[in-house]
C-alpha cells in the first residue's frame, strides 16, 4: 500500500469512528448517485475529460455511457476510459449500445459484431450493457417486437458468456398498444429474465401514463437500473431537473428493494433552463438531500 492510499484509509477509519451513523448513511447514499452521459452529450463531444472532471466535482460517483462507437468510449479505448474514470473516483457500471439498424456498417452493435461491444463493455468495467433505443422503422408492428425478442434473448446469452448482463432501456412508445398488444409487456414475457434486465426510465414510463411502482410489483427484481428524470408540471410535460417536476421520487425509491435496484442515473434529455452541467448539479443536490 502506498503512502497516499494509507493516509486515505486512515482518514476514512478516523471519520467512521467520529461521525454519527446518520452521516455515514448519507455518505453511502451519495456514493450511489450516477449520471447518464447523454445529459451532457454536447459537453462530452467538446471535452470529454474536462466534462467528466466537472461531473466528479459535482459529487456524482457513477456514469452511464452514451458514446460507445466501434471500440471506443468518447474517443478512448475501453481500458483507458476506465482508467481515467477511476482517476476521478468514478465508475461505469453500465453503458448504452445500439441495434445498428440505422448504421448497418458500424461495428459493435446488436446486429454487427455484437461480441466486440460486449468484450469492450467488460474491459471498461461494466456490469450491464443496455440497448438504448429502437428506431421507428424497427417498431412498426407487434411482429417487429416478437422478432426483436428473439434477438434480445440471443444478445443476453452472449452477455452471460462474458459475465455481464444485457439490459433494455424504454421510452414511451413501448407502452403504446400495437395490434392489441403492449410491446413492453411482450418483452417482459418473451425475453427470459436471465437474458435481460430492465432499465426503467421513470420519466418515459410516467409520460406514457404508467406507474413505475406497479411494474416493480408485477415483475419484482427485474429493474436493477433506473433513469431518474423529472417532468414539468405543464400540458407538454417536458423534461426538467429532478425535484423540480411532478414525479414522486420518494414514493418510487421506497420500492427500490422490490425493483431490485442496483444503479440509478440522473438524466435530462434536453435542458431548457440551465446549461446541462448546471441542470445535472441541481438534480444531484435534490437526490443527495432526499431520503431513500
pLDDT tens-place string over residues 134-143? 999 999 999 9
Pairing of strands 165-169, 68-69: unpaired
Q: Is the dihedral of CA 15, 20, 26, 28 positive or negative?
A: positive
* Domain contains 119: yes
250 Cβ contact partners less than 8 Å away, ≥ 6 residues apart: 290, 291, 292
What is the rounded distance in angstroms from the CA atom of residue 37 to the CA atom of residue 44? 8
* Domain contains 137: yes
pLDDT band at 125 (very low <50, low <70, confident <90, very high): very high
pLDDT tens-place string over residues 157-194? 999 999 999 999 999 999 999 999 999 999 999 999 99
Indicate whether 10 pLDDT > 70: no
pLDDT tens-place string over residues 57-113? 999 999 999 999 999 999 999 999 999 999 999 999 999 999 999 999 999 999 999
* Domain contains 9: no
Reported residue count of the chain is 292
pLDDT band at 18 (very low <50, low <70, confident <90, very high): very low
Q: Which pLDDT value is given to residue 17?
A: 42
pLDDT tens-place string over residues 264-277? 999 999 999 999 99
Q: Check which CATH number belongs to the domain holding 160 and give it.
A: 3.20.20.150
What is the rounded distance in angstroms from the CA atom of residue 117 to the CA atom of residue 106? 11
pTM, 2 dp: 0.90
DSSP secondary structure code for residue 193 in this structure: G
* Domain contains 221: yes
* Domain contains 5: no
70-101 b/e (C-beta count within 10 Å ≥ 16 → b): eeebbebebeebbebbeebebbbbbbbbbbbe
* Domain contains 15: no
* Domain contains 262: yes
Q: Which pLDDT value is given to residue 28?
A: 67
DSSP secondary structure code for residue 247 in this structure: -
Share of the chain above pLDDT 90, in %: 89
* Domain contains 54: yes
**Residue whose entry in the numeric block shows the C-alpha cell 445529459:** 39
Q: Which pLDDT value is given to residue 20?
A: 43
Q: Which pLDDT value is given to residue 15?
A: 37
pLDDT tens-place string over residues 100-113? 999 999 999 999 99
- Coil, helix or strand at residue 6: helix
Indicate whether 12 pLDDT > 60: no
Question: What are the start-end ranges of the H helices in the chain?
Answer: 3-18, 21-30, 41-46, 48-58, 78-87, 114-123, 142-161, 183-190, 202-207, 212-218, 249-253, 256-259, 276-289
What is the rounded distance in angstroms from the CA atom of residue 287 to the CA atom of residue 122? 29
> How many domains, the chain?
1
Share of the chain above pLDDT 70, in %: 90
Structural domain harbouring 110: 21-289
Indicate whether 9 pLDDT > 90: no
Amino acid at each position: 500500500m502506498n503512502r497516499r492510499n494509507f493516509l486515505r484509509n486512515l482518514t476514512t477509519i478516523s471519520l467512521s469512528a467520529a461521525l454519527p451513523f446518520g452521516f455515514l448513511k448519507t455518505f453511502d447514499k451519495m456514493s450511489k448517485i450516477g449520471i447518464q452521459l447523454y445529459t451532457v452529450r454536447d459537453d462530452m463531444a467538446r471535452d470529454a475529460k474536462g466534462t467528466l472532471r466537472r461531473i466528479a466535482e459535482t459529487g456524482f460517483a457513477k456514469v452511464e455511457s452514451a458514446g460507445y462507437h466501434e471500440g471506443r468510449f468518447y474517443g478512448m479505448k475501453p481500458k483507458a476510459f476506465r482508467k481515467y474514470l477511476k482517476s476521478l473516483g468514478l465508475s461505469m457500471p453500465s453503458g448504452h449500445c445500439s441495434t445498428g439498424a440505422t448504421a448497418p456498417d458500424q461495428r459493435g452493435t446488436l446486429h454487427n459484431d455484437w461480441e466486440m461491444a460486449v468484450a469492450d463493455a467488460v474491459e471498461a468495467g461494466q456490469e450491464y450493457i443496455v440497448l438504448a433505443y429502437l428506431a421507428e422503422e424497427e417498431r412498426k408492428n407487434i411482429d417487429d417486437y416478437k422478432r426483436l425478442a428473439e434477438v434480445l434473448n440471443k444478445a443476453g446469452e452472449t452477455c452471460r458468456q462474458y459475465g455481464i448482463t444485457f439490459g433494455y432501456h424504454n421510452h414511451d412508445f413501448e407502452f403504446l398498444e400495437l395490434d392489441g398488444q403492449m410491446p413492453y409487456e411482450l418483452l417482459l414475457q418473451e425475453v427470459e429474465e436471465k437474458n435481460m434486465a430492465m432499465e426503467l426510465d421513470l420519466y418515459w414510463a410516467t409520460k406514457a401514463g404508467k406507474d413505475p411502482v406497479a411494474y416493480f410489483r408485477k415483475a419484482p427484481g427485474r429493474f436493477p437500473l433506473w433513469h431518474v428524470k423529472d417532468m414539468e408540471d405543464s400540458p407538454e410535460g417536458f423534461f426538467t431537473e429532478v425535484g423540480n417536476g411532478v414525479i414522486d421520487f420518494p414514493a418510487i425509491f421506497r420500492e427500490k428493494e422490490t425493483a431490485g435496484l442496483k444503479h440509478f442515473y440522473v438524466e435530462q434529455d434536453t435542458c431548457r433552463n440551465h446549461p446541462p452541467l448546471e441542470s445535472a448539479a441541481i438534480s444531484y443536490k435534490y437526490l443527495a438531500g432526499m431520503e431513500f
